[in-house]
């Protein structure tokens, strides 16, 4: 293990043992979500923060956001907002008063309490790719629609890797399952193949209620226990510019009333659904998020809410979305400053426009993951497995991204920058003097097993050694690893009674017809 | 052009025109070395800075560094240092007094004054890969010894890309040229194929003097003009632990006496030639660099000196060097803090351990390039083209790295984070309202050609469009680009008389036997 002398042991015990109980295809770091010890990169000065804040507030005060949800309109009217049809305008005093009720940090406790995650403060957690309709792997060799088997395999990766801390949405849409019952089958797979925190799509009453019930069952919880603290979350996108659709608001209200967490992530592509200027796109994104969060705080003061960002730019030649660009990095950093200004935890993503797990996919995804670090992001969505602007999920990309995520985890270990006498190591330097080397000395022997990051996918052999071993490029190495992990996967422990109860619930709800598909 | 509205125009005029005169295989950004507007990432608190400084000073005071150079020993004895054989110990007062004489910023002016580079402050400049003995490209498909043709092709890339600001060492060692005359042929190639700042290897009197003379001739300079301001530089490595070899010190003394710049870059691999703890490796690296800089400042007060870092870790399984690791990033950031503490410009590198231009090569190199940004590095060596820990140069990797360098250049454009009324764009948001999009509006039309980074190598087409175009992965796209750039390359303008004078010099020095090869 590269990090066994980790600086913190939170949750290490049972989860660590579970990780060791699982297959040992690779020698990975233990479960230990990073604490972001870096000062964020902050491109905005106080006047810049004020300008973006004022822009967001004026959008809400002067232009308004459309809520296609009658219940929300009624609540916001009661709260004193100005309503014209679906258009809601709200004053900054109201927005700030409501947003101030949201906690700056909270936890989500999944069915395995050792996998509890902290959202907010300096905590960082990483989730799998969510919601691509398509799949690519090296064996298939082309883009194909997702199915349940692919989804299950990606869920196995989600569980297997200790650097993946939550199971977001479906890692690929299993379009071979009818939409009316898809949520039942996939949630069954998620809750049996993983024990990590997960989410419900806000796509209609039935889906949301079913998922909450299944998460409750899987945790062996009473309704009161379920509602006492967040056990799951939902993530919604606004429909930019300046609209919130019915099912998203409905789902959030349902979760809010049961004490579950909410992530609001506008998808403001600068130049398309938002101004071509990044500060404008950020201001609009904030306005769209804050008005929804204000609603949820009015309904349930103190409910955990996360402000998400998906502000990127389009390719002005084609209109296609671009990700992991310099503009994306800066908008993420700016949003981080604003999230701290509002006292809200923040979500961003690991993203790229590349179509295959090649060099481009790495620089784009790496840019976005390090922008998450620099921005002080708490919750990193799509942190592993995303290709083609989110239209493709790939297991090779998943595994490659996990190598970057582990490096971020290692990077945040304060031991790397410790400067005590043992680290300055004057006696060791004196003992080696002007000749010889440090390989054999006691100072090295005492530390060498844990001194440095040990990659699981990077190949540090010299060219000749690498060539003799097959001369395999990164993506192909990841592919072999994928096959091994999936074939030797052991699901996390789950009580048989709970498994049966979940299966019964799925069968009953299927018999009832699942969820309507005309939403 | 993605960046034609750039925030600064320094040197833009003629160089920009020259770039446009050249071939237009790709639509690249103009020559415009980035100004690092970010606050550096600083893992050390004041006590940490003091601990590393004290460690470095105690190494110099109590352990000493060996100088295998009689002239240096004599000078340092005269300066009051404690000499025992080759071992030199020096007090911190002397070190700090000498180091304080070095400028915190200076310029290097190559034969084309529009390619003048600023070293220090918030300036960042990028140089090509330097000194690999081997070469890999996709057509050859394996690692082969470098030759002059490969070297010339990599020099063409060095000249072609506006994001490469200086021509470092040989981009690959042309081992088909005898070592006695290699410097003559390669410098002729460098000075005719590029017009960017370059360096002399400190490998013996003849080589250093020949290179200085050729740079002087290429610039059309008198000896006085050559010596009046830096026209070139040398870069030396110490022989860690705690040794300086004869030719490196000799070369630096020769350049110092003629007013040229010096970069001192210890190569302290933690766990091998330096302590296994990063702070110790950094302290040792600083000690090795500072004692040499103290010598040069004593000899020539005020001579430009750069403190370099090459502190990384080894793979403790194999002893092989690792690059672009979390430890590398942190040591680079710590060295940046120390360089600012000493008031010296800083050099770091773009590095990886990968053997081919695959995903691993990108995350390792990207980590190191962004660590250069985060550390406040001024001079980024090996910024494009490096593989296998510096043992291989690759044109595909060169071009891939240039895409990352361009993104850094773009990232540093303050327009990305501007927050004036035009950027907040409230009127544009109002005009679009809750419906429609921003594609067609005037605010977008006025800005779309320059609003976003335009990659030259990243492919932002969707999967289907990319597939129809051949489904080509990044490295192969770079390979095709390499062939096109080289085949259509136009060398920069050079006066025929100067070219003849250079050729005559080379011929004369070859007739004299070149340089001895028994150094």
Q: How far apart are CA B166 and CA B195, in angstroms?
A: 9
Q: What is the pLDDT of residue B25?
A: 85
Q: How far apart are CA B381 and CA A478, in angstroms?
A: 30
Domain assignment present for residue A519? The answer is no
Domain assignment present for residue B205? The answer is no
CB-based contact, A140 to chain B, within 8 Å? no
Q: Do the Cβ atoms of A362 and B367 come within 8 Å?
A: no
Query: Taking a contact as any Cβ pair under 8 Å apart, which residues of chain A between 25 and 84 contact chain B?
Result: 37-39, 41-44, 47-48, 51-52, 54-55, 58-59, 62-66
Q: What is the pLDDT of residue B87?
A: 98
| A190-218 average pLDDT score | 97
* Full residue range of the structural domain in which residue B438 is found: 415-445
Q: Are residues A361 and A426 in the same domain?
A: no
Q: Which residue of A has its CA nearest to B274?
A: A438
Phi, psi dihedrals of residue B430, rounded to the nearest 5°: -65, -40
Q: Are residues A309 and A436 in the same domain?
A: no
Q: How many residues does chain B have?
A: 519
Q: What is the pLDDT of residue A92?
A: 98
Q: Do the Cβ atoms of A275 and B438 come within 8 Å?
A: yes
Tokens matching residue B68: 């295998």
Q: Are residues A335 and A435 in the same domain?
A: no
| A68-94 average pLDDT score | 98
Domain tally, chain B: 1
Domain assignment present for residue A73? The answer is no
Q: What is the pLDDT of residue B24?
A: 72
Q: Are residues A217 and A248 in the same domain?
A: yes
Domain assignment present for residue A56? The answer is no
- Residue A188 maps to which CATH number? 3.20.20.480
Residues B333-353 as b/e (b if ≥16 CB within 10 A, e otherwise) read bbbbbbbbebbbbbbbbbbbb
- Inform me whether the pLDDT recorded for A10 exceeds 80: no
Domain termination site, one of A445, A462, A492: A445
CB-based contact, B355 to chain A, within 8 Å? yes
pLDDT tens-digit readout, B19-65: 444 457 899 999 999 999 999 999 999 999 999 999 999 999 999 99
Residue in B48, B320, B362 nearest the CB of A363: B362
Q: Are residues A406 and A422 in the same domain?
A: no
Q: Are residues A433 and A397 in the same domain?
A: no
Pairs of CB atoms within 8 A across A/B = 408
- Inform me whether the pLDDT recorded for B416 exceeds 90: yes
The minimum CA-CA distance between A511 and chain B, rounded to whole Å, is 39
Q: Do the Cβ atoms of B277 and A41 come within 8 Å?
A: no
CB-based contact, A429 to chain B, within 8 Å? yes
pLDDT confidence band for A4 (50 / 70 / 90)? very low
Q: Do the Cβ atoms of B273 and A438 come within 8 Å?
A: yes
Q: Are residues A407 and A421 in the same domain?
A: no
| A412-424 average pLDDT score | 98
Domain assignment present for residue B426? The answer is yes
Q: What is the pLDDT of residue A9?
A: 34
Domain assignment present for residue A488? The answer is no
pLDDT confidence band for B518 (50 / 70 / 90)? low
Residue matched to tokens 């579950």 = A260
Q: Are residues A359 and A427 in the same domain?
A: no
Enclosing H/E stretch for B305: strand B305-308
The minimum CA-CA distance between B406 and chain A, rounded to whole Å, is 10
List the beta bridge partners of residue A119.
A106
pLDDT tens-digit readout, A220-244: 999 999 999 999 999 999 999 999 9
SS3 assignment, position A199: strand
Q: Do the Cβ atoms of B280 and A423 come within 8 Å?
A: yes
Q: Are residues A381 and A421 in the same domain?
A: no
Domain assignment present for residue B62? The answer is no
Q: Do the Cβ atoms of A429 and B278 come within 8 Å?
A: no
Q: Are residues A369 and A230 in the same domain?
A: yes
Pick from B381, B333, B389: which is nearest to B361 by CA? Answer: B389
Domain termination site, one of A430, A445, A460: A445
Residue in B51, B413, B434 nearest the CB of A424: B51
Q: Which residue of B has its CA nearest to A448?
A: B316
Q: Which residue of A has its CA nearest to B141?
A: A471
Name chain A contacts of B408, Cβ cutoff 8 Å.
326
Domain assignment present for residue B429? The answer is yes
Residue B410: exposed, middle, or buried by beta-carbon count in 10 A (0-12, 13-18, 19+)?
Answer: buried
SS3 assignment, position B197: strand
A367, A324 Cβ separation under 8 angstroms:
yes
Show Cβ contacts of residue B132 under 8 Å, excluding neighbours closer than 6 positions: B146, B171, B172, B173, B386, B387, B388, B390, B391, B392, B393
SS3 assignment, position B388: helix
Residue B454's Cβ-side half-sphere holds a number of Cα atoms within 13 Å equal to 17
Q: Are residues A344 and A424 in the same domain?
A: no
- Inform me whether the pLDDT recorded for B267 exceeds 90: yes
Rg of the Cα atoms in chain A: 23
Q: Do the Cβ atoms of B279 and A444 come within 8 Å?
A: no
pLDDT tens-digit readout, A162-189: 999 999 999 999 999 999 999 999 999 9
CB-based contact, B282 to chain A, within 8 Å? no
The minimum CA-CA distance between B52 and chain A, rounded to whole Å, is 7
- Inform me whether the pLDDT recorded for A5 exceeds 80: no
Q: Are residues A419 and A406 in the same domain?
A: no
The minimum CA-CA distance between A341 and chain B, rounded to whole Å, is 16
SS3 assignment, position B414: helix
């Amino acid at each position: 293990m590269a990090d066994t002398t980790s600086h913190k042991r939170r949750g290490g015990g049972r989860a660590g043992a579970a990780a060791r109980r699982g297959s040992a295809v690779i020698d990975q770091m233990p479960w230990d979500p990073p604490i972001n010890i870096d000062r964020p990169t902050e491109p905005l000065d106080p006047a810049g923060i004020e300008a973006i804040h004022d822009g967001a507030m004026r959008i809400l005060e002067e232009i308004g956001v459309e809520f296609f949800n009658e219940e929300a309109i009624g609540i916001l009217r009661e709260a004193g907002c100005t309503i014209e049809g679906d258009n809601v305008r709200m004053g900054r005093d109201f927005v700030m008063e409501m947003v101030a009720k949201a906690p700056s940090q909270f936890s989500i406790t999944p069915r395995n309490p050792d996998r509890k995650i902290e959202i907010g403060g300096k905590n960082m957690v990483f989730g799998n790719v969510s919601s691509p309709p398509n799949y690519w792997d090296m064996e298939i060799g082309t883009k194909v629609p997702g199915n349940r088997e692919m989804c299950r395999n990606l869920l196995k990766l989600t569980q297997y890797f200790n650097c993946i801390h939550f199971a977001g949405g479906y890692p690929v849409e299993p379009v071979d399952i009818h939409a009316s019952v898809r949520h039942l089958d996939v949630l069954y797979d998620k809750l049996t193949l993983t024990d990590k925190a997960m989410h419900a799509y806000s796509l209609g009453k039935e889906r949301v209620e079913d998922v909450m019930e299944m998460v409750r069952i899987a945790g062996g919880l009473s309704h009161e226990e379920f509602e006492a603290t967040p056990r799951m979350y939902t993530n919604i996108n606004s429909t930019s510019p300046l609209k919130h659709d019915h099912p998203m608001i409905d789902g959030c209200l349902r979760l809010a009333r049961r004490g579950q967490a909410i992530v609001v992530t506008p998808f403001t592509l600068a130049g398309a659904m938002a101004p071509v200027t990044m500060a404008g796109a950020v201001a609009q994104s904030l306005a769209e998020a804050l008005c929804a969060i204000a609603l949820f705080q009015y309904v349930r003061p103190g409910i955990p809410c996360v402000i998400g960002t998906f502000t990127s730019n389009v390719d002005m030649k084609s209109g296609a979305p671009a990700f992991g660009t310099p503009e994306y990095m800066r908008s993420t950093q700016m949003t981080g400053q604003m999230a701290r200004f509002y006292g809200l935890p923040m979500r961003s993503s690991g993203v790229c426009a590349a179509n295959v797990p090649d060099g481009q996919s790495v620089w784009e995804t790496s840019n976005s993951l390090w922008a998450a670090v620099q921005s002080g992001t708490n919750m990193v969505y799509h942190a592993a497995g995303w290709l083609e602007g989110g239209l493709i999920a790939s297991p090779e990309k998943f595994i490659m991204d996990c190598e970057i995520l582990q490096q971020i985890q290692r990077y945040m270990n304060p031991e790397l920058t410790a400067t005590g006498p043992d680290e300055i190591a004057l006696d060791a330097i004196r003992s080696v003097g002007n000749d010889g080397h440090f390989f054999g000395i006691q100072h090295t022997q005492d530390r060498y097993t844990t001194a440095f990051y040990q990659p699981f996918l990077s190949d540090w052999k010299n060219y000749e050694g690498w060539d003799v071993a097959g001369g395999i490029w990164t993506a192909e190495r990841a592919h072999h690893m994928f096959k091994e992990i999936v074939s030797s996967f052991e699901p996390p422990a789950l009580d048989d009674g709970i498994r049966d109860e979940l299966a019964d619930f799925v069968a009953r709800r299927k018999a009832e017809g699942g969820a309507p598909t005309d939403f």
